Amino acid sequence: MTSSTVLCVVGTRPEAIKMAPIVHALRRRRGLEVRLLLTGQHRDLLDQALASFGLRGDIDLDLMRENQSLSGLVARILDGIDPLLERSPPALVLAQGDTSTVMATAIACFHRRIPFGHVEAGLRTGDLQHPFPEEFNRIVAGRAATLNFAPTEGARRALLREGVAPETVHVTGNTVIDALLEVARGRPALPPGLPRQGRLVLMTLHRRESFGPPAEQVLSAVRRLCAAFPDLHVLYPVHPNPNVRDLAHAVLGGHPQVTLTEPLGYPALVAAMQRCTLVLTDSGGLQEEAPALGKPVLVLRDVTERPEAVELGVARLVGTDPDRILAEAGTLLTSPAAYAAMAKGVSPYGDGRASERIATLVAAAIRPHRATRRPAAPHAALAQPPMPLPLADGAPAQ
């Protein structure tokens, strides 16, 4: 690597989706060498997501193991990344989000005194157990970072409350909106086999704190929801973790109103968001993406590190209690007024230009002696919501 090398590290599917626009933005900058390092924390899902954006890794540690422990994974990531940083230190390392890959990368950079940039910095619930282990991971990454790219003003304030130096924090928006808008404009194709008529619910469930009884409660609520609304169809791309996959197929497998699929490629997921009526999820990404497409989100968690969507009224925390899920979903499916109040077609997470802001800030940090175009007033730019996109066939409740 050279003194102008930016090393982008990704380990999971969400990281790949959110890092892809940054990689492309950086590669458009003259004088920067951009390398993409994969830890393989999610093997097949990672490769699938990168392919959606025409990317492949330059370095692949291929660390995925069956039923891997968190400590074992972190140890392997540190052992894999540290020799690379020692042999050929880059000018700056970027990682996104709150996974074990991000936390371990931040520690490795700190040990080697290599500048580290944290994308999507400052998300907090204030509870180390929810989400677990992500809340801890992002705290570590934020404290080790020399550049913190906060998606919102609230995230910036969270970092400042923790004593992070203000000059390291930049509000940029969230790059997932960049990725979403790019893919959605292309009118991606729906997954095969879905009914063309009726209302569609898109559902995901994969977080560790959802394993066991909470997941059982959610899946029970889905069965009850289908019984209450015979015109409803549920699309559930099932995470490959056995704790999720086995239970999903045991409870919902063979149900005539439910389609269980393998994880979708990102274009197909965006198409499903455009087609659906509402979203049930414990995913952070869908909390950010679906509101920009005018889709109400019921968050299957008790707390969220993305409170802006809840405050804006486009997402609602419903937890995992079946009665609460059924009541909230039922209201949206029967009340046009309640639906319209949530289906605003805006997102508080950016305007589709976050990756360009980040690329500008990275270039300035690496080449401070050169004149570099300054980012255009990030705070002012983010005050303007993204343009609503066509909502395809996801009609409001009738």
- What pLDDT does residue 313 have? 96
| Confidence grade of residue 60 (pLDDT, cut at 50, 70, 90) | very high
Write down the catalytic residue from 208, 245, 324, 367. Answer: 208
DSSP sequence for 61-103: -----TT--HHHHHHHHHHHHHHHHHHS--SEEEEESSSHHHH
Write down the catalytic residue from 13, 24, 76, 98. Answer: 98
Assigned token pair, 130: 């929810």
Label residue 117 left, alpha or beta by phi (over 0 means left) and psi (-120 to 50 means alpha). Answer: beta
- What pLDDT does residue 368 have? 59
Write down the catalytic residue from 15, 120, 135, 356. Answer: 120
239 included as an active-site residue = yes
Least confident segment among 47-56, 129-138, 310-319, 383-392: 383-392
Tell me how crowded residue 140 is: count the other CB atoms within 10 A of its CB: 18
Q: Which residues of 318-347 are buried (b: 16+ CB within 10 A; e: fewer)?
A: bbbebebbbebbbbbbeeeebbeebbbbbb
Write down the catalytic residue from 206, 207, 306, 353. Answer: 206
Tell me what percent of the residues of the chain surpass a pLDDT of 90. Answer: 78
304-320: pLDDT as tens digits = 999 999 999 999 999 99
101-127: pLDDT as tens digits = 999 999 999 999 999 999 999 999 999
For residues 74 and 54, what is the distance between their CA atoms, to the nearest angstrom? 28
98 included as an active-site residue = yes
289 included as an active-site residue = no
206 included as an active-site residue = yes
72-81: pLDDT as tens digits = 999 999 999 9
Assigned token pair, 26: 């950086």
Please say whether the beta carbons of 164 and 142 come within 8 A.
yes
For residues 325 and 342, what is the distance between their CA atoms, to the nearest angstrom? 16
- What pLDDT does residue 363 have? 96
- What pLDDT does residue 371 have? 40
- Backbone φ and ψ of 173, nearest 5°: 90, 175
Query: Could you give the 3-state DSSP secondary structure of residue 389?
Result: coil
208 included as an active-site residue = yes
DSSP sequence for 288-334: HHHHHTT--EEESSS--S-HHHHHHTSEEE-TT-HHHHHHHHHHHHH
Write down the catalytic residue from 24, 43, 134, 356. Answer: 134
